[in-house]
Each structure stands twice: as structure tokens, then as C-alpha cells.
Amino acid sequence: MNIENEMELINSYSRKELKEEDVYVFNVTLCDNEIDRDYERFTKESLDGLCEMFCGKTGIFDHNMKAQGQSARIFKTWVEEVQGKMTSDSQQYYRLRARAYMVRTENNKALIDEIDGGIKKEVSVGCAVKEIRCSVCGADMKSHCCEHVKGRTYSGKLCFGILTNPYDAYEWSFVAVPSQREAGVTKAFGQDETDVVSLVKNAPQGITLSETQVTKLSSYIEGLERTKSDASFCRERLLCDLRKCVLISMPEVDAGNFVKGFENMDINELSNLCEQFKTRIAKTQLPLVQLGGKKEKHPTDNGAFRI
């Protein structure tokens, strides 16, 4: 493609008419079909899908630079077959390439020199895919986990996730540590936090998360912490109830020691046991003193009954 045609494409994205000397134009590799360090890879078809989605997308050089307008825009993308190069799982190697432009300013002079000098050449992309197929059994690892773990080998076959049906490409940026070997990929696999959780669970080798994913994971963890605190409270109450039940129904037994024997029970089991005691007490017409009522002591006094 000659420069006139390129300027025409660039100007289709620009608000004001740009001349050749106004812009800095460069190539980047967005992603490829090699297995990355998260043990995932795109297919040729997913690269084709992403190819269309990345056209026109703005990229940034780091988050601080966003405010200074140091961004570039992709105006052309293509999937390139690299002759004679195979992926580590013996597929023809393909990569998604893009041509991007920056409007030259005083502020980005140094940055352009860095790109020219090959210093800032690693690109990270953010995209979303519908499915991650297990390379061993073909199951969608996103919706229901199979027994295979990415990065492990089963009967000589490496397990990795095959990223299929991309449905969104939302960012690209230059980063220091790329996820892929040849390019950098930050993948987002959906909108709900359970996706991020299964993502983390399936990444024994470590994983790169996007800002959005980190936010989702944090709020998921906060939810778990609240549930944990509720569960601890219920547990304390049950152990306290159980101790009272023992005191009432078996006054000859040391209730504290007796209840200690049940500390490893889960909440359901403790609750059932409590109910059995209460039924028994009700049958024997013994008074139900304070059962299920307020705590008789400060929670710290029940320290011995905590798990």
C-alpha cells in the first residue's frame, strides 16, 4: 500500500486533515497463534475475527500518557502467515499485524524515538472470547471445567486453552512484560467474575489480569470475606447453642470439652446436632433456657471453640 492510500485511511479516522509529515506510522504485532505463557493460544480463525475488531482501535503507551494524548490508532490490520515457521504445537504460525499512526507532537518526540529504536515494541492487547477449548478433551474450560489443567501433560499431550470466537477487542498498549512470546496479550474472557475465578484456578503457571479483571476479582474476594464472616458468626452461635444443650441435657458432662469434640463439623452438621439435642430436650420436658438466644458471653470468651 502506498503512502497516499495510507493517508486516505488515516484521514478516515482523523477529525482534521493530516499530512504525511504530521504523522508517525509504524507496525505492531498484536498477537499470534503461539501458545502463550498462560498456556493459551488463538486459532487462525480467532486471529481473523480479531483482525476486523482491532481496526480503528486506539492504543496507549502507558496509563500516565493517556492524559497527554500520547495515543496511537490502528488504521489497518492483517493476519500474516510466516513461511516456514511453526508453533510449538506444530501448527502453521500466523500473527495478527497492525499498522498504526500517531500525530507527531513535541510531547511524543521521545516516544517515537523509542519505537524507532525498538525499545517500545512489545504490545499487549485486551480482548474477549466466548470459549476456551481444552486442547486435550475439547471441553469449554470457560463454562464448565474439565479435569485437565493448563500447562500439564496428559499421555504426552500438553493441555492448553484454545481461544475461540472472539467477540470484543477493546484495547492495545505497549507493556513491559507481554503475555505472549512474540506479542503481549491480556485476555478477558467475559463479563462475570466467575470467569476470572476459573481463569485464576486454571492458571497454575501464573496469569496476567487486566484492570477490569482485577476489580472484578477484588469485589468477588470482598463478597467471600463477607460470607466468611457471616459463617464464622453462625458457627460461634451454633457452638454456643450446642454447649447450652449439653449443659441442660447432660449436666454431668463437661460441656466445654464435649463440644470441643465437634469443632471439626461443618455448619450443617453442627446445626443438625443442635436440632437433635433440642428435640431431645423438648421431649424430656427440660426447660429451654436461653436456647438460640443472645450470646451469654463476649465472643472472645468462646475462643476455644473457634476453628
Where does this chain bind Zn ion (CB under 5 A)? 134, 136-137, 139, 146, 148
Contacts of 103 (CB under 8 A, 6+ apart): 14, 18, 22, 23, 24
Q: Which is nearer to Zn ion, 129 or 136 (CB)?
A: 136
Helix orientation angle between 193-201 and 211-249, rounded to the nearest 10 degrees: 90
Q: Please state the closest distance from residue 189 (CB atom) to Zn ion, in A.
A: 16
Q: Please state the closest distance from residue 196 (CB atom) to Zn ion, in A.
A: 20
Q: Which is nearer to Zn ion, 150 or 243 (CB)?
A: 150
Q: Please state the closest distance from residue 139 (CB atom) to Zn ion, in A.
A: 5
Q: Which is nearer to Zn ion, 111 or 141 (CB)?
A: 141
Q: Which is nearer to Zn ion, 108 or 135 (CB)?
A: 135
| CA distance linking residue 141 with residue 38, whole number of Å | 14
Q: Which is nearer to Zn ion, 20 or 147 (CB)?
A: 147
Q: Please state the closest distance from residue 35 (CB atom) to Zn ion, in A.
A: 15
Q: Please state the closest distance from residue 273 (CB atom) to Zn ion, in A.
A: 40
In the numeric block, the cell 499431550 is attached to: 157
Give the three-state DSSP class for 36.
coil
Contacts of 150 (CB under 8 A, 6+ apart): 38, 39, 40, 141, 159, 160, 161, 202, 203, 204, 205
In the numeric block, the cell 504485532 is attached to: 29
In the numeric block, the cell 488515516 is attached to: 10
127 phi and psi angles, rounded to 5 deg: -150, 170
